[in-house]
Amino acid sequence: MCDLAARLDHFIFDPETVDAKQLARDELSFETPDLVPIVDLEAYGNQYLQKRGAEIGSLGYIQEVCNPDLAQSITTEETFDPQMGGM
């Protein structure tokens, strides 16, 4: 158990993603929203999971990544806040 706790930064967690259809819908909406109504979401979501070695369990989406820095960059939302004004 301690070994797993020491490696938590090697995983991507998303508790809001609870099934393959939702995963596909979220991914396609971000990349190409026009495809959402015409794609087999279940098949696309399952293929997405298989390619990444990820799974969706009772607690949501989980994926192990080799590079912990990659996990940090994916899970940390970065927002751009433009500054208005001049000198």
The predicted model scores a pTM of 0.65
Q: Is residue 85 part of a domain?
A: no
Q: Is residue 51 part of a domain?
A: yes
Express as a percent the part of the chain with pLDDT over 90: 53
Distance of CA 68 to the CA centre of its chain: 15
- Tell me the two tokens of residue 84: 């208005």
21-34 pLDDT tens trace: 999 999 999 889 99
Q: Is residue 86 part of a domain?
A: no
Residue 36 contacts residue 29 (beta carbons within 8 Å): yes
Q: Is residue 80 part of a domain?
A: no
CATH no. for residue 57? Answer: 1.10.10
Find, among 20, 21, 14, 1, the residue nearest to 65 by Cα.
14
Number of compact structural domains in the chain: 1
Q: Is residue 55 part of a domain?
A: yes
Q: Which residue range forms the structural domain that includes residue 55?
A: 2-74
Residue 24 contacts residue 41 (beta carbons within 8 Å): yes
Confidence of residue 7 (pLDDT cuts 50, 70, 90): confident
